[in-house]
Structure 1
Amino acid sequence: MRINRAMRVGIGAAALALAATVTAGCGGGSDKSALENAQDGKLTIGIKFDQPGLGLRNTDGTYSGFDVDVAKYVADKLGVKPENLTFKESPSAQRETLIENGQVDLVVATYSINDKRKEKVDFGGPYYIAGQDLLVPTANTDITGPDSLAGKKVCSVKGSTPAQNIEKNYPQAQLQTYDTYSLCIEAMRSGAIDAVTTDNVILAGYAAQSPGTFKLVNKPFTTEKYGIGLKKGDSELRGKVNDAIQAMIDDGSWKAAQEKNFAGTGFAVPAPPTVDRY
C-alpha cells in the first residue's frame, strides 16, 4: 500500500504525541504542589532507607526512625494520615533533584541546612541539631578525633555535608565516598575503611545496631541543623511545616520520638532547636 503525504504527516504527528506521553510518564514528578497533594490526602516524603534510628526500611517493609516519626507528625498536621504516605528513598546526592522534579513533596532525611542548598530548595526547621563525629572499630585506638586522620581511609556519602567538610578541612585524610552510609559501614567491617564520618546521631544508630563492633569517638566537630526540604519559593508550605515542627516540640512528641529511637545509644535528649522563620 502506498502512503500519501497526508498520511505520512498524520502518522508522524501521532508518533510525536506518543513519544511526548511516554516522556512525561517517565519523569516521575507531579504537576501538583505539595499542599495540593496534601489536600487530596496524599504525600510523598523522601527519607533515608538505611539509617538505623533515623530512617530505616525494615525487613517487613515498614519504616522506622526519628525522621520517619517527624515526617508522619508533619504529614498529620497537613491533613494526611500515615496510611496515605508514600516514603521514597532519598540518597544524599539526589535530595535537591527529587524536590525540584516534584518526585517528593518533602524530604526528611538528615538534611543539613546550608546556603548552597538553599539556592535550590527551601527548608522548614531545623527540627534537630547534630554534630559530625567519627565511628571506628571498637579496638581502634589511633583515631581520637579529626586531627588524627592523616593517612587514614575515611568514608562518607557522596554529596553529603560531612564528606565536603573532610575534603575541605582535613585533606590529610584519604576520603572515600559511597552512595550510602551502610556501604561505608560494611567497608569498615571488612577492614577496607578505617573510619566512617557523618553526624553523631546517625553513627550512634549504627553502633547500636552492631553492639561491641563499633564505637563513637565522641568528639563532635561541627554543628549540623537538620531541616525539612521543600520546593523553593513555597512560603505557605514552609510556614505550615514550621508550625508542625513547633507543635511537635511543644506537645512532647519530639522528645518522646527521640527517647524511643535512640534508646541504648548513650545519647541524652538535647534541648530542642529554635525553629527558623526566615
Structure 2
Amino acid sequence: MLSTLGLGLLLAGRVGAFGSPTADAGRRGADDLVPARSLQEEVQEVAALKPITLRGGVLNAPPFAIDNGDGTYSGFQGDLLRRLSQFALEDDYNLTFVLSPSPTQYNEALNLVASDCNTTANPNPREECDRFDLIVGDYYCNADRSLRVDFSPTWLRTTMSAIKLAEFEGKGITTLTELTFAGGTACVPEGAYLSEVVKAKFPGASYNDCPDPEACIERLKSGVCQLYADDELALKYRALNDRSLEVTREQFNTQYIVWPLSEKMNPQHSRLLKKWMYKSVANATLDELSYDYFEVKFCPLGLSGPNCDQDCDPIHGLSDRDGRCICSSTKWTGADCSVEVEEDLNTYPPWEIAMCYSFFGINTLAVLVCASWIYWQRNTQQVKVWQPFFLYLVLLGCLVSSSSIIPAVQQSSEGNGNVPACMVFPWLFSVGFSITFGSLFAKIRRVYILFKAAVTMNRVTVTVKETFLICGILHLQLLEGLDSNHCRLALGVDDFCISAMLQDSQHRYQVFRVQVCGGRDDPKTGLFLRAAVIWMNDLFVICIIFGSLMHSVHFGPKKDVNIGDAVSEYARLEKESTTALKERKEKFVSRFSSIDSSAEPDGASVKRHSSGGGPADETIDVGSTKTTDVGSTRRLSAQISLASHPEKDEEDHVVCETIDDLFVEDDQVLK
C-alpha cells in the first residue's frame, strides 16, 4: 500500500513539476506537439529511478502537520514533503516518505531518534529506537539537542509570542511583560522547549500547562488564562482562522525550525535530503508555503471580492482580508470606492430658513396692520393721547429689529462662511431695539414732566427733538462695543482672581476623577434660537402696546378722553394730599407742646423730698387715669405707674415714649 502511495505521489509530483499536458498543449504551437506517453512508459521510467525510502514520525501540530485521520497528513510539512519529492525526481531519485504517528510530546518523539536512545538516560526499546529516520515536526534547534541528534537545514524562522482575545483590544493585558507585573496566568504547551524558555524569561507570571494547543485555546477563551504563549507562526495560523483571536506584537527569542534526523540514517540519503531542502530555500518554495499558511490573503491592487474578481479603485480603496473594498477616506463611497461623496457644506436646512422668513413675515405683517390701524384711527381720542408719533417709532424699531433675521440666514454657496451680510445682523438688531425702547423711555419721560409741572400749575412743552435725542443717546451706547484698536494691560493684581486660581489648582490635585462635559457650537440651532427670540420679543412688544390700545378704542368706555382733564385731576388730588399732610404736621407740633407744658397728670400726688442736699427724690402715686381727646381721629389712654422711679429723668423718658407713639399712629393714618 505504501509503495502504491509513493508511486502515485511521485507521478503527481512529476506532473506538477513539469506542468500538465493539457496546459502545455495550450502554450505550444501546432508544430510543437509532444507525443503522448502511455501509463506503462511512465511506470518503466519510475522503475529506472534510484529509490529512496525514509521513515518519518509525524508530530501532530497544526498547521505544520495535520493528521487527517485516514493515514494521510496535510499542512505545511506535508506540502514541503511533496515538493522535496519533486526535487528528487529532477535528480533521478524516487523519494518516498513512509509516515506514521509519533508520540504527542516533543521530547518523547525526539528521544526516538536521539543517539542515546536505548540507554539508561533514554530507556526506550530498541524497536522504537529503530522505528524512524526523522521526526516530521516543528522543532527548535538548540545546543543540547544538537549533541543528541542531527538537524536538517532550517526550513522556517520564527519567534515566540502570545495570543489574546481580540475583543479586549485596547484594554486589559496585551503582552507577557504586562502579565508579569499583573501576576496573571499564561497558558503554555506542556513538555515543550518553548515552555521552558517562556517560564525562564517571565518568572513573575503564573503558568497553566496544556496537553495540546486546542486545550490552550479553550482555556484562553474560558478565562482560565489571559494569554497563550506559543510559536508565533502557529499563533498566526490560528488567528487567521479565528477572528476572536489576535496575536500580540510582543516577540522574543528568535528560533529556527528544523527536523531531527537520526544518526542511524543512511549518510547518502541524509546528504541528498539536505540538498533538496536547500533547494527549496533557493527557489522560494518555503516563502510560498509560508505565505499560504501564515499570512493574511489580500486581493491584488485594484481588485476585491471573495475571489478577487471585482473592481476596487486603486487610488481611493483597498481590499481587506474578506475581499471587501474599503475606502481610504469618507470622501469616497460605493462598492468600488469610485463615487465621490458630495461635500457637506454644513449649510442651514431649507426648513429652518423657511421658519426664519416666516418669523420675519409675521412681524412685518403685524407692523403694517398696526400702522394702518393707527392711520385709520388717528382722530380717536385714545390714539391722540398715546401720540401717533411715538407709536410709529415703536413700530419702526420692531420692523428694523425683525429685519435682522434676513441677514442672519444668508450663507455662502461655497461653504466657506464668507458672508458680508453677517456683519449687518448685530447692527440691525441693536438699532431696532434702541428705537423701540428709546421711544418708550421718551414717552415715560414726557408723562413724568407733564404731571410734575401740573402740580405747580405750570405749562410745559415736550418737543419731538427731545425724543430723538434720547434715542440718539441709546444709539451711541452701541459704539462702546466696537474695537478701539488699543490693548489694555492690567498693571495691578486682583486678590480675588489670585485666590480663585489657587483654589482651582487645589481642586485639580484633590479630584482624581472629573467628568468633563464638552460642548461645541451648533450654527443651525443657534440661528433658530436667535430668530425665535427676536421674533417673540418684537411681537410681544407689538401685542402689549397695540393690543391694549385697540381694546381701549373698540371695547373701552365711549366717553371722551382728554389728557388735560387727567392732568388737572392729578393736580387737584396732589394739592389736597399736600394740604392734609401739612395740617397733620401742625397737629403733631401742637400736641407735643401740650404734653411738654403739663407738669403732673390729674389725680396724681407727687411727693418731693431731699436728704442732705442730694438729688431730689420723687414718688408718683397714680390713682386715676387721664383721657385726652385729640381731634376726631383717635383716643389716647395712658395709665402711668411711676411708683419706683426716684429720678426726674424717668418722667421725661415716659413723655418721650408717648410722643413717639403719637407720631407712629399718625403715620399710619396718613398711609
Tell me how far 1:237 sits from its aligned partner.
4.5
SS where residue 147 of structure 1 aligns? helix
Q: Does 1:65 align with 2:78?
A: no
Q: Given the superposition, is the C-alpha separation of residues 172 and 223 from structure 1 closer, same or farther in structure 2, using an over 3 Å criterion?
A: same
Contact 1:50–1:182 (Cα < 8 Å) also in 2: no
The alignment status of 1:47 with 2:58, answered yes or no, reads yes
Give the counterpart letter for 2:236 in structure 1: A
Residues 77-92 of structure 1: pairs in structure 2 closer than 5 A: 77=88, 79-81=94-96, 85-90=98-103, 91-92=105-106
**Partner SS for 1:99:** coil
Contact 2:61 2:137 in 1 (8 A): no
2:143 equivalent to 1:128: no
**Cα separation, 1, equivalents of 2:270 and 2:202:** 35
1:221 to 252, 268, 285: 252
- 2:53, 2:273 → 1: CA distance? 15
Q: 1:197 to 1:103 in 2, by over 3 A?
A: farther
Given the superposition, is the C-alpha separation of residues 226 and 80 from structure 1 closer, same or farther in structure 2, using an over 3 Å criterion?
same
Unaligned runs of 5+ in 2: 1-49, 115-128, 299-671
- Hey, what's the Cα distance between the residues in 2 that align with 1:134 and 1:153? 12
More helix by share: 2
Deviation at 1:214, TM superposition (A): 0.9
Cα 1:75–1:182 shift into 2, 3 Å: farther
User: 2:223 matched to 1:191?
Assistant: yes
Partner of residue 358, structure 2: none
How many angstroms apart in 2 are the aligned matches of 1:73 and 1:104? 21
Deviation at 1:64, TM superposition (A): 2.2
Q: Does 1:95 align with 2:105?
A: no
Q: Normalized against structure 2, the TM-score is what?
A: 0.31
Deviation track 1:106-130 (CA, whole Å, cap 9, x = no partner) reads 1231100001111221101111110
Q: 2:261 aligns with which of 221, 224, 230?
A: 230
**CA distances 1:6-39 after superposition (whole Å, capped 9, x unpaired):** xxxxxxxxxxxxxxxxxxxxxxxxxxxxxxxxx7
Distance 2:292 2:140 in 1: 22
How many Å separate the matches in 2 of 1:182 and 1:89?
18
Shift of 1:173: 1.3
Deviation at 1:240, TM superposition (A): 2.5
Q: Does 1:118 align with 2:146?
A: yes
Counterpart amino acid of 2:292? K
**Mapped contact 2:57–2:136 kept (Cα < 8 A):** yes
1:148 corresponds to which letter in structure 2? E
Residue 240 of structure 1: aligned partner: 272
After superposing on structure 2, the runs of 4+ consecutive aligned residues of structure 1 that deviate more than 6 Å are none
Tell me the CA shift for residue 165 of structure 1. 0.9
Q: Which residue of 1 aligns with 2:316?
A: none
Displacement of 1:206 in angstroms is 1.3
* Paired residue type of 2:157: I
Match of 2:283 among 251, 269, 272: 251
Q: CA deviation at 1:40?
A: 6.2
Please tell me the root mean square deviation across aligned C-alpha atoms, in Å.
Answer: 2.6
SS in 2 for 1:51: coil
Q: Is the Cα contact below 8 Å between 1:126 and 1:226 reproduced in 2?
A: yes
Alpha-carbon shift at residue 41 of structure 1 (Å): 4.9
Q: Which has the higher strand share?
A: 1
Quick one: distance in 2 between partners of 1:142 and 1:265?
29
In structure 2, relative to structure 1, the CA distance for the partners of 1:48 and 1:265 (3 Å cut) is farther
| Distance in 1 between residues matched to 2:278 and 2:256, nearest whole Å | 15
C-alpha contact 1:121 1:232 (8 A) present in aligned 2: yes
How many angstroms apart in 2 are the aligned matches of 1:43 and 1:237? 8
**Structure 1 residues 177-233: Cα deviation after superposition (integer angstroms, max 9, x where no partner):** 22322221122122222211111101011112222x111002211101111111137
After the TM superposition, which residues 161-200 of structure 1 pair with which residues of structure 2 at under 5 Å, given as runs? 161-200=193-232
**C-alpha contact (below 8 Å) 1:44/1:88 kept by paired residues:** no
In structure 2, what is the Cα distance between the partners aligned to 1:116 and 1:158? 19
Most deviating of 142-151 and 105-114: 142-151
**Partner SS, residue 137 of structure 2:** strand
Asked whether 1:206 is paired with 2:206, we answer no
* More moved, 71-80 vs 213-222: 71-80
Please tell me whether Structure 1 or Structure 2 has the larger radius of gyration of its CA atoms. 2
Residue 186 of structure 2 is aligned to residue 154 of structure 1: yes
